[in-house]
Structure 1
Amino acid sequence: MLDVLLAWNPDDPAEPAGGSKFDTLEVIDWATEGAMERATELRNLEIPFKIKNMPELDEVAKKWADDDYVIEGMSSRKSYTINTAHNGHFMFYQSNAMAKELKKSLRPANGYSSSKQASNAFKPRGYTFDHPPPVPLPMSFAKFWEESAALEEANKAKPPNEDAESRHLYLSTGDSWEGAGDTMISRDINLFEKDAPTRDLFIPEPTDVRGQHCRFGMRGVVAEQHWDGHRNFIYMLRGMKRYVINPPAACTAMDMMHSGPSRRHAGIDFSDPEAISDPETAAQLDKAQAVETVLRAGEILYMPSFWLHYIVSMGRSIQCNTRSGVGHMYGEDAAGINKCEVGRSPPPATPEELATATAKVEAKINDFRLPQAARWGRSKA
């Protein structure tokens, strides 16, 4: 995990030249013979994988590339709850009550509370993350889509570190997964209908389905690292997102919040140089297995139950997902999640582990900390 982070700071949404050397997930070409069988096999083994060249999704992605189509398709509802933050970090917060209390002080016209003040206010509730949770605001979809586009254009002119500390907007909303909803989500996505050949793959347990959810994001929005209890099929329908993925056994290395409104989420800001250069933190991250991938429009990613994932929107994006059933864990993966659930810390790093991690950090922390001149070319692309 440490190598993945040092090679590409999450606050820089631009893909490195040549891509990531840590993208080793198997990619199944849906146009090839045996694709369904291979995807089902990997799902049953609880191994993450990707699917590409699925005509049904490619068709939706073409439609959703049109802004007018998206605005019309999501405007059957008068208002949505839009999450807003004065940086790119959007931490899940189970109850918005505390965020609402800060709403006035977080309004742009009145200036923002400091991250330190806000995080201290949440700590009694088990919230240990450095940034305050996002503030919910009612807004029409058209206003959200247009305002987020304007913010994104303004942020592109800034270095990655300044972009990350600018205002961002994010929408998470759901709809029916069987075509009976009121937006383009249920109307256009037909992977789960009863006669769809893909239904058994994506809905392994029809009696335990957690709906269909879509997330509309802008460049630089970060969904902090977390795990979900259900099998999760994630499909990208516009733009690109970076996914950093860890097996359940890595859970104890991530300083997970095991209670409170952000339970199941990491308490570490992985984009903060001071956080990841702490010797003990760096040593624990260095021991944690990780893989990353860029999910592009028309592609599907399978995320098994309890696997950790950290997500960065690399541009204007629409990503949907559906969850069905709970997968099985064995051995160290089951032990890792169980330890996280009760808040058990990993064993302290050995002197050798500390020395190895410290050397890695010292060698690359300057590239991690500051956007270099070479980054500007790709950050503006």
Structure 2
Amino acid sequence: MQQTMQQRRPHSTANGTENGHTATTNGHSSGHSDDPSISRDQRRIERREAKKLREQKKTTRRVKRRHSGWIHDPNLQLGILSFVLFALIGFTAFKLMHSNKTTRPDPIQRFEQKLQSKSNHGLLAKLRGGSKYIIPESMRNIGCRKDWYTELRREYDTHIYPKDDERSLKWVAEHRQRQGIYTQSPLASTPYDIFHCPTYPPEGYPVQWPVLDVLKNWSPDDPTPHYQLYQGLCVFDYRTELDKANNYRERELPFLVRNDPAAARTAERWNDAEYMKKLLMGKEDTNRRTEYSPNNHFMYWVDKRPRDVKKAQWKEMNERRRRGEEVHDGFGRGDQEELAEAMKEMEEVNEIKAQLEAAKRLAEDNPEDEAAQEELHRLQREMKRARDRVAQESAENWHPPTENLRMTYLEWLEHANVTDDKLGPDNPHWYFRLIGCGKMGEHTEDGSCDKGSSEWLFDELTYFQPREGDERPFYMINPKKQQGIHCRFGMKGVIAENHFDLSRNAINVLYGQRRYILAHPNQCSNMNLLPRGHPSAAFGRGLERSRFGGISGI
């Protein structure tokens, strides 16, 4: 076969260039020749080259470029630039009009916006609730979600007291001005200005004074304000001095904070008598905890009397009430003769205690002295007998200093709103109380730590909510250990005395005025604390006033 083909094309050459040509059709090129002299090898090469060209043309696509001349149009460029410039000017003007005349970011506002976004409870909750009002800064699982309270807040938040921090803070400042301006007594100097305290607590902060000086300046039984007082606590502005306040808090030292916008909003609502009637009566009309005392003194106590003794007392009281008598189980200061006898026994205990301490030192210094050792043992036995007498006196003669009752807010208000001639220290007083259980209710059978608990306190006092992380309110040290919110309504002249507390409480005064006389823990030895086991243990019968130091605050 090879010979035959070579004979038919005797003039073919190896490279196939002689008598050959190239043709192009529709973009495809192929090489061929009709010249019989082209050899078989040359044809094979031509076919391979033509095949390669066809394959290359299949993978190569031509893209038609669009005309982009409009980009270079100067009129169009000027129009786009003008539009962007006017949009930027409009956005800047809008921000200036709606940012309280300042472009500086407000950390308080950012914090509240974060809480508000959390309180919206998500899209699904909104869809389920329809048009139900979402209380600003409310929590998902803590607070009141009853319809009557939600509608009350909608009415006041929308129409009566819409959020306006400047208005609320101005109202608080005017209210404080109407109550009178307190100044430092000339006899109560401090090495620091309480309204311009240093960044970190100075040495010796807070200044203390002998309690006799503090009480002489203003007697606790006198509810009339004395505008010159002993004040050793620093006063910080929430809006500008929160970092300072935090430095004092980290040292576990007391201080005052003013001008908190959230607290100002609550105070503005709570000073509205109509709002308080609706809030505390609403549709629940609950009898709430109220303490009664025949005088102005309210001391903490826990009833440790045997059950049969308490039942007999209650039975006698109920019988006398059925006969129309006004009977109370509280005795306030107690019988004065019994109190004098109890104080005499306590003084004997203190005298023996002083002798015992001296005997211990003598016995330790003279271990071989038999007389010193015998005197120590004698005083130890005498101390035990004296303590037993005090315990027996407490068990036999102790009476509850106050009586625990329940009444509605309006009933308490009727007792509290009396003329000054009925507000003396020896006249009856009532102390109204609300409790918001929060997480404390998780461990109770009915989910509540108190009958008729006021869970809306967490929606009213949002700065006491047990939030954690970057949402934690400034006043909450450890939200997980919060023991609810306890709210007191005290009529004029009420004294909650000798209160000894190891917890780090934060107190918010929302209406009226409240005076505090604080003492450093190093003063406990001078407070004549009642012994362990007493119903009012850790609270004092009286003070060794010549040595006791006090800090006055209002």
Q: TM-score range by the shorter chain?
A: 0.5 to 0.7
Q: Which residue of 1 aligns with 2:491?
A: 218
Structure 1 residues 197-212: aligned runs within 5 Å: 199-212=472-485
What is the deviation of 1:131? Answer: 8.7
Is it true that 1:239 corresponds to 2:499 in the alignment?
A: no
* Structure 1 segments unaligned to the other structure (5+ residues): 269-280, 295-381
Q: Which residue of 2 aligns with 1:227?
A: 500
TM-score normalised by structure 1 residue count? 0.62
Question: For residues 248 and 96 of structure 1, do their structure 2 counterparts lie closer, same or farther at Cα, with a shift above 3 Å needed?
Answer: same
What is the deviation of 1:4? Answer: 0.7
Indicate conservation of the 8 Å contact 1:174/1:214, yes or no. Answer: yes
Q: Which residue of 1 aligns with 2:120?
A: none
SS at match of 2:458: helix
Distance 1:83 1:132 in 2: 11
Indicate conservation of the 8 Å contact 1:83/1:136, yes or no. Answer: yes
Structure 1 residues 21-170: aligned runs within 5 Å: 22-32=230-240, 35-75=241-281, 76=284, 78-95=286-303, 101=313, 104=317, 109-110=325-326, 115-116=335-336, 124=392, 126=394, 133-149=401-417, 153-154=418-419, 156-157=420-421, 163-170=424-431
The structure with more strand, counted as a fraction of residues: 1
What is the deviation of 1:139? Answer: 1.4
Distance 1:61 1:69 in 2: 11
* Structure 2 segments unaligned to the other structure (5+ residues): 1-210, 343-389, 442-452
What is the deviation of 1:244? Answer: 0.2
Question: For residues 129 and 245 of structure 1, do their structure 2 counterparts lie closer, same or farther at Cα, with a shift above 3 Å needed?
Answer: farther
Distance 2:266 2:469 in 1: 16
Indicate conservation of the 8 Å contact 2:297/2:497, yes or no. Answer: yes
The structure with more helix, counted as a fraction of residues: 2
What is the deviation of 1:157? Answer: 2.7
Structure 1 letter corresponding to 2:403: V
Indicate conservation of the 8 Å contact 2:434/2:454, yes or no. Answer: no
- Identical-residue share of aligned pairs (%): 25
**Can you list the C-alpha shifts for 1:293-318, whole angstroms capped at 9, x where unaligned?**
11xxxxxxxxxxxxxxxxxxxxxxxx
What is the deviation of 1:147? Answer: 2.5
Indicate conservation of the 8 Å contact 1:65/1:238, yes or no. Answer: yes
Indicate conservation of the 8 Å contact 2:436/2:455, yes or no. Answer: yes
Q: Bigger radius of gyration, 1 or 2?
A: 2
Structure 1 letter corresponding to 2:416: S
Distance 1:128 1:31 in 2: 55
Indicate conservation of the 8 Å contact 2:436/2:454, yes or no. Answer: yes
Distance 2:220 2:246 in 1: 32
Structure 1 residues 341-356: aligned runs within 5 Å: none
Q: 51-60 vs 182-191, which deviates more? A: 182-191
Distance 1:216 1:96 in 2: 27
Structure 1 letter corresponding to 2:547: K
Q: Which residue of 2 aligns with 1:191?
A: 463
Structure 2 letter corresponding to 1:190: T
Question: Which of the residues 415, 423, 433 maps onto 1:172?
Answer: 433
**Can you list the C-alpha shifts for 1:137-166, whole angstroms capped at 9, x where unaligned?**
2212221123222xxx23x136xxx70100
Indicate conservation of the 8 Å contact 2:338/2:397, yes or no. Answer: no
Indicate conservation of the 8 Å contact 1:84/1:135, yes or no. Answer: yes
TM-score normalised by structure 2 residue count? 0.43
What is the deviation of 1:133? Answer: 1.0
Indicate conservation of the 8 Å contact 1:88/1:166, yes or no. Answer: yes
Question: For residues 210 and 182 of structure 1, do their structure 2 counterparts lie closer, same or farther at Cα, with a shift above 3 Å needed?
Answer: closer
Aligned residue pair count: 269
